[in-house]
Amino acid sequence: MIQSHAEYRTITTHGYPLPTSPHEPGPAPQLQWIEINQLVVDPSYQRDIGKKGRLNVNRIVEGFEWSKFAPVVVAPLEGGLFAIVDGQHRTTAALLRGIEKVLCQIVYVDRAKQAEAYAAVNGNVTKTTPQQLFHAKLAARDKAALAVAEICAAGGVEIIRGNFSSQNPKPGRTQAIGAITRCFDRYGRDTVITALQCITQTGDGNPGQVRATIIEALCDVLHSMPIWRDAGEALLRALDDFDFADMWESIISGRNFVLSPAVQDLIAERIRHHLSLKLSDENKEAA
């Protein structure tokens, strides 16, 4: 199926400085399918596959698809062998899947240049943020990502991709995809939605306060007191005069680690105390 190009963007050099020095990129690489039994690892610059590496190999094996398999970068050696410069993990995963050949990008460099290329490939990778990964999974219609997106929409929250602006924050905007996902797994959909609404639908919308620690503290409080979680509008009214920003600043003042369990416990304590007073008063009025 041919897709429309209307929503795509082209590659541009706008905003980048022009190179200031001459550069020789070396011989152009070639693409070739190579038998895995012809590929070897040079221990002088390649690390062994350790515990985390094995987990990565297993992850690749379980979700193996050619659309996710980048060509293995190799350099030719004597005797028809090729040294793997980048791709040891995915080659191992392919072998575990019973695959005999992998697509390789052959670079014609000596051992020193191989090591240099290995360091460059593994050291200069642009890190994918959790927010970018979430949006990528969302575009791929991943079920877990879709479930979290539905929770965010119901809670009035937007997961932003870029940097969070502390100068002019907008209500509901956050990078706390990790906290929302953790709370969804731990407490369930309804508790997380209510916790998010406690921030976005009270006061002035509490811009800048959809923070990981606040979300987790709210979920903890609501989970421990389901009667509050299920109080609906009464819960939101009770938090209308709760100043999340003031509470946050007073708790983190002088602290180096704002994501610590101690901070979360203090936030939960403040919220629990406020709600116990407010909802108790409201129940008395209703009676």
pLDDT, the chain, mean: 88
Model pLDDT for residues 143-199, shown as the tens digit of each residue: 999 999 999 999 999 999 776 666 678 899 999 999 999 999 999 999 999 999 999
Q: Which residues contact 250 (CB under 8 A, 6 or more apart)?
A: none
Model pLDDT for residues 99-142, shown as the tens digit of each residue: 999 999 999 988 888 888 887 777 665 566 888 888 878 877 88
Q: What is the mean pLDDT of residues 216-221?
A: 97
Q: Which residues contact 119 (CB under 8 A, 6 or more apart)?
A: 45
Whether residue 110 contacts residue 85, with contact meaning beta carbons closer than 8 Å, is answered with no
Q: Where are the domain boundaries for CATH 3.90.1530.10 in the chain? A: 30-123
Sign, Cα dihedral of 67, 72, 73, 78:
negative
* CATH, domain 30-123, list 3.90.1530.10, 3.30.465.10, 3.40.250.10, 1.10.730.10: 3.90.1530.10
Whether residue 158 contacts residue 164, with contact meaning beta carbons closer than 8 Å, is answered with no
Tell me the whole-structure pTM to 2 decimals. Answer: 0.65
Lowest mean pLDDT among 77-91, 218-232, 270-284: 270-284
Whether residue 86 contacts residue 121, with contact meaning beta carbons closer than 8 Å, is answered with yes
